[in-house]
Amino acid sequence: MKPPRSVENELILGLVSVSDRASRGVYEDQGIPALEAWCRRAITTPIKIHKRLIPDERFDIEKTLRELVDIIGCDLILTTGGTGPARRDVTPEATLAVATREMPGFGEQMRAISGHFVPTAILSRQVGVLRETPDHAALILNLPGQPKAIAETLEGLRDEAGRPVVNGIFAAVPYCIDLIGGPYIETDESVVKAFRPKSARRKSEKEAQPQETAPAAPQPETKPAPTPAAAPQREPVPAEETPREARPEVESVEKKAPAPRPEVKREAPRAPAFAPEDILVTGPRTGGTPELTVVWLHGMGVDNTDFAAFPDEIRQFNGPVCRFVLPNAPMREMSMHPDYPLRAWYDVPGRRIDENEDELGIRETSRRVAALIDEIAAEGVPRSRIVLGGFSQGSAISLFTGLRMKEPIGGVAALSGYLPLAGRLFSEATPAGRRTPIFMAHGDFDSVVPPVIAARSAEVIAQVDSDLIARTYPMDHELCREEMHDLAAFLRSVADRAER
């Protein structure tokens, strides 16, 4: 996704403090205030900051980092805490788990700086990584836990005359953000001087126009952002647009007028619900024979890689071995952000998600998802072992489609979503849909899909489907451990029912 910036060239910054005791309120967190104070002092570019205080739980750290990059659209994320050798220190492992590429120089330089003060710097396991999606990329850096060490690591060391002795890591951050397609970050040189090759430097503010009219940061040539024009290539090919390679054979038959051939009479094969390049199939790294096939739909603004690790996470919570089939939503311009095309299953034209709904888009996506399930069943997977599910917008499509299936499936799992076109359900729910087990999970503090809308959806569904399980959790638009435990248990129940 292209991050929706409030002003041109704005840096979207994520600050994450990892601490068991601070997250429980045992003592006041010092990491985020220290990070924010330093960043506001050093960075002169406009900043929008998103803060997260979380416990030393690998699952929570991974989900937070994915949310900040894939949903919020952060360009840079700075974490503090959880980087030592203690067993609860798992920040580096979680960071590497969500990374697409490691940037080892950052960790090496951080340990070099700390080594000037304490010999225990060699015990630090801080890492720097990139997390990249097809449309966006972010730099993630693990920093020390103490405020003084945070400033030293970012700024570096100076002699008595104020000359740099050891460069801080932030000197390289702005150019790194340039190279991955982010905003052009400028700094207060009295705090830290951003280094760029001469060819990558812009004129100073005194020589250039005001920042609001400054040209956009150059995009790296090696990774051009997808454009809306690519989206139509991902749509199903209509039957009348049969590939031309099939036509000459038919024409030659008509000229020679031989006896009719069976292959000429056959209809053109139906286009697949999703193009092969738009499908990601994944399973647990530990292997095993799949007990279920789960068609999982991602949320708005991300892509199918967002849940690539879900099979492993399901297993961690004692769920069944699942083969996940992850389709990609098409790129589209949304009414809410017309200048920022992103992946979405349908448009949201109203001020609220359940207002002035995109009925055409919802129904078209539902048709494609149902066709994908039919294709999986045609491959030999029993429908009782197929589960449809998703997160946010993907959850909404899963509920809409699952309740209208012509033939039953094993179940529907809907996380942080709602039921679109809820008023049509009573007349459109099929007999198969009415007896499909459904698991709905939602956050009590969801800031994207209001809890009241999710609760109304559950009330409507409960009137047509007695196999509904609806749970809420003390969280925002995200996942939590209790929810994952309940989801894994639901999937286990579907697998056990299919076995009987």
Task: Output helix, strand, coil percentages for the chain, rounded to the nearest 5.
Answer: 40, 20, 45
In the sheet that 11-18 helps form, which strands lie side by side, from edge to edge?
Answer: 47-54, 11-18, 76-80, 136-143, 128-133, 101-102
Distance CA(44)–CA(9), nearest Å, equals: 11
The CATH label, of 3.40.50.2300, 3.30.300.30, 3.40.980.10, 3.40.50.300, for the domain at 11-204 is: 3.40.980.10
Answer for the pair 320, 311: CB distance below 8 angstroms, yes or no. Answer: no
Catalytic residue among 392, 395, 416, 457: 392
pLDDT at position 422 is 92
The total of other beta-carbon atoms located within 10 Å of residue 274's CB is 22
Catalytic residue among 135, 446, 465, 486: 446
pLDDT values of the chain reduced to their tens digit, one per residue, 500 residues: 456 788 888 999 999 999 988 888 888 899 999 999 999 999 999 999 999 999 999 989 999 999 899 888 899 999 999 999 998 999 999 999 999 999 999 999 999 998 888 888 899 999 999 998 877 899 999 999 888 889 999 998 877 777 777 889 999 999 999 999 999 999 999 899 999 998 888 865 444 444 444 444 444 433 333 333 333 333 343 433 434 334 344 333 344 444 555 554 444 455 678 999 999 999 998 889 999 999 999 999 889 998 998 999 999 999 999 999 999 999 998 887 777 788 999 999 987 888 889 999 999 999 999 999 999 999 999 999 999 999 999 999 999 999 999 999 999 999 999 999 999 999 999 999 999 999 999 999 998 899 999 999 999 999 998 899 999 999 999 999 999 999 999 999 999 999 88
446 is catalytic: yes
Answer for the pair 407, 370: CB distance below 8 angstroms, yes or no. Answer: no
Distance CA(101)–CA(472), nearest Å, equals: 35
pLDDT at position 259 is 52
Distance between first and last Cα of the chain: 44
Distance CA(488)–CA(224), nearest Å, equals: 38
Instruction: State the architecture of 276-499 in CATH terms.
Output: 3-Layer(aba) Sandwich (3.40)
Distance CA(461)–CA(466), nearest Å, equals: 8
pLDDT at position 236 is 42
Q: Where are the domains of the chain?
A: 11-204, 276-499
Distance CA(177)–CA(9), nearest Å, equals: 12
Distance CA(168)–CA(166), nearest Å, equals: 6
pLDDT at position 380 is 95
Distance CA(16)–CA(72), nearest Å, equals: 14
Q: DSSP E strands: which ranges in 284-404? A: 292-297, 322-327, 331-332, 342-343, 386-391
- Listed in sequence order, the DSSP H helices in 115-187 are 147-155, 173-179
pLDDT at position 269 is 52
Distance CA(70)–CA(442), nearest Å, equals: 19
Q: What's the maximum distance between 2 C-alpha atoms anywhere in the chain?
A: 97
Cα radius of gyration (the chain): 26
pLDDT at position 145 is 85
Give, in order, the Cα–Cα distances in Å from 146 to each of 53, 71, 499: 15, 29, 54
Tokens of 456: 């109304």
Q: How far is CA 449 from the centre of its chain?
A: 16
477 is catalytic: yes
